[in-house]
Amino acid sequence: MRMYSDLAPWWPLLSAPKDYAEEAESFLSMMELGSGERPTLLELGSGGGNLASHLQARVNATLTDVSPDMLAVSRMLNPELEHVEGDMRTLRLDRTFDIVLIHDAIMYCTTRDDLRAALTTAATHCRAGGLVIVAPDVVRETWQPETSAGGEDDPAGRALRYLEWSWDPDPSDTVTEVAYAIVTRESNGEMRVVLDRHLEGVFPEADWLATFRDVGLTPRVVRDAWNRHVFVARN
């Protein structure tokens, strides 16, 4: 996926940090934060660190991602936070956190085995009595084909625009496809067009809940302001 490798330096123009403020507040409202010390938080699949940039005032965050290029972007945005390279399906840090968060990176778990592995990692790193919050973009019941567009300019004169197109080649399985047509423009006017194709997983809500329970977590479903099914689970 070129979006997370050679195109990673363009990430802030494809997905701007400022656009995550409202979503961060939504997650904070689910975290049951008190007035004492800031809780520890592990974000699995933290990407370019956009969400964490709005959470870090309230939590002590450790960010992990499988892409070293995206971690480099996040370090520029969140230099004071700990960053660790690792796959959410296999990462083991040998410590626990008050909260474990997986945002939309969970969509790259395309099989039930992938999903179980990622949730096992979350459960392993969550202290007894802590919270695991997982926010897929969709579940099977809410998935729909979609086309959208966006992009940003930066003060240095660079710009990016993209078209995103999702579809489901086989509704009987757990895999959907998303294609991105990305146009970048350098400050000198040089332009490039990139086609990037991603595979994403989609599972019924019942499968999500069963998998949470299988790995030892007690889940509930919270509908957020965007009508997503967010899973909030107690360890």
pLDDT for the residue numbered 62: 98
Mean pLDDT of 176-189: 98
| Total of domains in the chain | 2
pLDDT for the residue numbered 37: 83
Q: Which domain holds residue 167?
A: 146-201
pLDDT for the residue numbered 48: 98
Residues 12 and 67 in one domain: yes
What is the 8-class DSSP label of residue 153? B
Residues 32 and 122 in one domain: yes
Mind listing the pLDDT tens digit for each residue in 151-163?
999 999 999 999 9
Mean pLDDT of 198-217: 98
**CATH value at residue 158:** 2.20.25.110
* pLDDT averaged over every residue in the chain: 97
Residues 77 and 186 in one domain: no
Residues 72 and 154 in one domain: no
- Asked whether 84 and 93 are in contact (CB, 8 A), the reply is yes
Residues 18 and 59 in one domain: yes
Mean pLDDT of 1-12: 97
What confidence tier does 105 reach under pLDDT thresholds 50, 70, 90? very high
pLDDT for the residue numbered 32: 84
